[in-house]
Structure 1
């Protein structure tokens, strides 16, 4: 494509912008009202991870957006006082040399689709927006006319930009290229049942051989990043300073490899804003299903105190484990459909097996420290996450683990093995008070507006920052509570972005734990104390209905409806029987479901 054609396309884009101004004017304040820059100490900014850009809805896939939607978004940014920033801007602000604008957004495009040159580049020229574009080495390497392995299928090499086009865009000084790995944008088999998982965070499983060792995994990860970095340096004349993790997945091993190889920035897909003091974990919002302009706009400044609606249910893998693969998978399939029918948002899954006295006897995942009850937890977690669209939280009490193993170092290794081999979304912390000792938290200055009457101190991203401060202080503490925090740190190193669930030790807790995303308060059925709590529900807490047996569906429904009528938001119950369907999903779902009508995605 000639330079003249590129500029003609840019002019076409500008014409489209002018046509869209009228459509956007209702939501656009006058440019004179845009806020001035804030101090260099402003810790956060917004970032968005876009992919392919297509002209018609018929060409869309999950991550693509249409051209008119992208133009609308860019025009909205200009009209609402947002400033697209570069990595240079972020680096200077991180060093305290300059201030980011009050409304700063980092715009990134992953995968290097052809539309990066034919659609995005002309718009970058038209708007003067800096763009970060992440390339996959294995998709750039094949010659023209060949086929490229893209996920599980082969696509023409022409689906992606050429090196000549990349060099032209780089010369504009508006497009900076990042590495999206050399060959990690793929999945590998991650358990004996054959589930495929993101290769950047998964130790591959080979039948008859077993799991890849940590040393081999780390070496392969480092070699891939080094190879991709060398390719971009050879083709573009400069080594990339930014790495975009494939699928947004990363861990402590990968972060250390990136740091050792000289990467200054790493782009991920966690929730929340990006922090200047975390350049190797720059959080990005991922638009899916060609979202409307309103959703794109709200993603830049989401409500930090949005009241999440959670429905949590216990799951014991032993209930689904039949000893053979066929029968076990059949039970798992029925359990998945039941979870969907109940409208559950998360499962609290036992990671270990207990005896009648509650002592840990074996693990549902391979570990150096316990006998193997069955290599089953990874399968359950992955299937529930991908097929039932729920979060999976591991239940592995650290005090019981210490009682079983007798040594804190062995407990630490147990949690390291859990994090390394099981795809988790979080962990349930039990037997720990609100805080073992006072900890001073320096909450970051707020970036987002928030609703009056709801304390900003409970926003999810502030909770994470507080917890980070707590984990840094672990070296100066000891005792059972400190062991619990070290256990979470081990899991979070392997699965960054994990959520922490805290189970309150008593029913008298009046406020959520300052370091947990979800605080569970035990609640009984037919208990006068519990019934009295319903009259003074704290919407920031999750009522955790417990008992010696799964609740009756009608009783659970009545309690749930009454709970919500008094202002309650989130609830859950334990135990639960997925095989016998107790409580009956068809009866309980109308009262407990958190599904979004008509379908949950």
Structure 2
């Protein structure tokens, strides 16, 4: 799971959301070079329905939020390396800015014309990321309907066809949110750390602090998502772990 992209590491990114585009390409090329198969949504859904059809090592790239850097920086990489991606956008914020972020809150989001263009590309399929990037836990039925069903209809009208997948803002969900997403007809929905069936599938979080070494650990270490989620509750420890991973030689001991 990615968010935004940049050419050089940003000082105004306290959430570490913006991955240097050269690192993004390095990560994808490493996966392909190690024999991992890149899936699109059709391939992923087929594997979800019948795990025997899933390649032994495969991956699906997802990108949340719909920053303009996806179009300008990430898409050329995806086209160059031949890897598809799912892009999740909040319907009501198209052409606006990332108002949910403390900094950089003025980060631009793709507008409707850009969303149509991106969705038409062979390497990108659009998905729904709520309406306004609100946490969907503990909200009422009317709010869920707006964030799940109406958000879909708005984006489907933009791109001219139904959208098949959903990603929870902040990766946050509860039983009511999952039921709303399933009831709206989405084929799959993604969380971050918490798995709860096909309508809350966890993902590997890739961020600006990741070296190739830490990226390799994240995609290969059994139980990574469980212990990394636990580290979220101990930020000082997590920073120490990240510092240690950064110091690891990117090619040593991890194949």
1:219 is matched with 142
Structure 1 residues 69-94: Cα deviation after superposition (integer angstroms, max 9, x where no partner): 11110110111111110110122223
- Report the structure number with the largest CA radius of gyration: 1
Matched, 1:234 2:186: no
Partner of 1:248: 171
Distance 2:102 2:239 in 1: 32
Displacement, 1:230? Answer: 0.8
Where structure 2 has 5 or more consecutive residues not aligned to the other structure, the ranges are 244-255
Distance 1:150 1:239 in 2: 26
2:44, 2:226 → 1: CA distance? 31
| Partner Cα distance (1:289, 1:101) in 2 | 28
Partner of 2:115: 166
What is aligned with 2:209? 290
Aligned partners of 1:180 and 1:243 also within 8 Å: yes
Distance 2:113 2:242 in 1: 43
How far the C-alpha of 1:114 sits from its partner, in A, is 0.8
Q: How does the TM-score come out when normalised to structure 1?
A: 0.36
Query: Residues 344-363 of structure 1: matches in 2 within 5 Å?
Result: none
Unaligned 5+ runs, structure 1: 1-48, 187-198, 204-216, 309-344, 347-384, 392-593
Note the aligned Cα RMSD (angstroms). 3.2
Residues 127-136 or 90-99, more deviating: 90-99
Query: Aligned in 2, Cα 1:240/1:59: closer, same or farther, shift over 3 Å?
Result: farther
* 2:250 alignment counterpart: none
- How many positions carry a matched residue from both structures? 239
* Cα distance in 1, alignment partners of residues 48 and 75 from structure 2: 27
CA distance in 2, matches of 1:258, 1:306: 23
**Cα distance change of structure 1 residues 153 and 102 upon mapping to structure 2, 3 Å threshold:** closer
- Equivalent residue for 1:465? none
Q: Which residue of 2 aligns with 1:137?
A: 91
Q: CA 1:153 to 1:75, structure 2 compared with 1: closer, same or farther past 3 Å?
A: closer
Instruction: State the distance in 1 between where 2:123 and 2:240 align.
Output: 42
C-alpha displacement of 1:390? 4.4
| Aligned CA distance change for structure 1 residues 251 and 72 (closer, same or farther; 3 Å) | same
Equivalent residue for 2:22, pick from 68, 73, 76: 68
Give 1:58 deviation, angstroms.
Answer: 2.9
Contact persistence 2:204–2:225 (CA under 8 A): no
Q: Distance in 1 between matches of 2:105 and 2:119?
A: 25
Query: Does residue 51 of structure 1 match 2:3?
Result: yes
Question: 2:10–2:18: 8 Å Cα contact kept in structure 1?
Answer: no
What is the correspondence of 1:99-114 to structure 2 with a 5 Å cutoff? 99-114=53-68
Q: Is the 8 A contact 2:149 2:184 kept in 1?
A: yes
User: Aligned residue for 1:179?
Assistant: 128
Question: 1:260 and 1:140, CA in 2 relative to 1: closer, same or farther beyond 3 A?
Answer: same
User: Are 2:72 and 1:118 aligned?
Assistant: yes
Q: Is the 8 A contact 2:192 2:204 kept in 1?
A: yes
The equivalences for 1:331-350 within 5 A come to: none
**For residues 423-468 of structure 1, what are the alpha-carbon distances to aligned partners after superposition, in whole Å with 9 as ceiling and x for unaligned?**
xxxxxxxxxxxxxxxxxxxxxxxxxxxxxxxxxxxxxxxxxxxxxx
Counterpart of 2:137? Answer: 201
CA change 1:77–1:254 in 2 (3 A) is same
For the pair 1:303 / 2:252, whether they are aligned, the reply is no
Deviations 1:369-396 (A, max 9, x none): xxxxxxxxxxxxxxxx8xxx449xxxxx
